[in-house]
Structure 1
Amino acid sequence: MHPILRNILAVIAGIVTGSIVNMGLIQVSGSIIPPPDGADVTTTEGLKAAMHLFEPKHFIFPFLAHALGTFAGAFVAAIVAATHKLRLALAVGVFFLAGGIASVFMLPSPTWYTIVDLTAAYLPMAWLAGKLVTRKSRSARQANLA
């Protein structure tokens, strides 16, 4: 397969994987940390109306969904990529960061959460995933040379 085509597919696979992980964590979050009484979390309008009822514990799973979804997507992109593994992992991180920024405008959240989410959940996780894969790839190449 041509490296450019493989890299495009790597980014697409990363975005799909990250989205699946993100949504999976969001889906189970309510059964682990129930939403506040009276909060309708099934619609954006319901979330906006109930946001004042949310406590810090209610932001754990959204953060984990963003961070682990980005990590998983970036990891897959870096593994599948033919070249530029770290750059493509970061591209997936930028994609999810753009989604996080859009989410801030669509669904206002406390300032502390917005800062933590946008600074720690996306680019750092993508960088970490990319570094893990590139370090692993480098170690494998060195082992093959020995």
Structure 2
Amino acid sequence: MKNVIATLAGLMVAAIITFGIESLSSNIFPLPDGADPTNMEWLKNNIDLIPTGAMILVAFAHFIGIVIGMLVAGLISRTSLIPAYIVGVLMLAGTIANLVMIPHPTWFMVVDILGVFVGICIGKSVAAKKLNKSDKQAIEQ
């Protein structure tokens, strides 16, 4: 049960952080007049109007959301990396779904996917540091 809670909490934290930073990006880098980023059709037809800085911040949001979500899963579980892995894989799946549903510039897709994979690697590392000592030794063997 603890690992289920760890997974759900990690996912919630990852999603909240990602959404929060994505929302912040449109405040820092204002969208053009009439923009509706909540409308999928508008995004599909106008992705090129979104400022580059906003897109970089979105890629960063995906990266940091994964790292912190996996950390939270590890902090709560303390016995297994599986909750952290689930958080990382589900966030990766969400990122890929977003990239498939909305056509993005190639540079953004590359940066976003690389950031997600780096985030998963770092997230695994920080989550592993939160495991109990006996569990760390079992993972290393």
Q: Common fold, TM-score beyond 0.5?
A: yes
Residue 94 (str. 1) matches residue 89 (str. 2): yes
> 2:46 aligns to what?
50
Q: Distance in 2 between matches of 1:133 and 1:55?
A: 34
Does structure 2 retain, via aligned residues, the 8 Å contact 1:13–1:77? yes
RMSD: 2.1
Deviations 1:28-68 (A, max 9, x none): 11111112345332311111121122343231121121111
Query: 1:138 deviation in Å?
Result: 6.6
Is 1:21–2:17 an aligned residue pair? yes
CA distance in 2, matches of 1:135, 1:81: 12
Task: Give the TM-score of the pair, scaled to structure 2.
Answer: 0.82
Identical positions, percent: 33
Q: Which has the larger radius of gyration?
A: 1
How many residue pairs align between the two structures?
Answer: 134
| 1:137 CA displacement | 4.8
Could you tell me which runs of 5 or more consecutive residues in structure 1 were left unpaired when the two chains were aligned.
140-146
For the Cα contact (< 8 Å) 1:40–1:50, is it kept in 2? no
Map Cα deviations across residues 7-33 of structure 1 (whole Å, 9 max, x no partner). Answer: 111111100111111111112111111
Gaps of 5+ in 2: 134-141
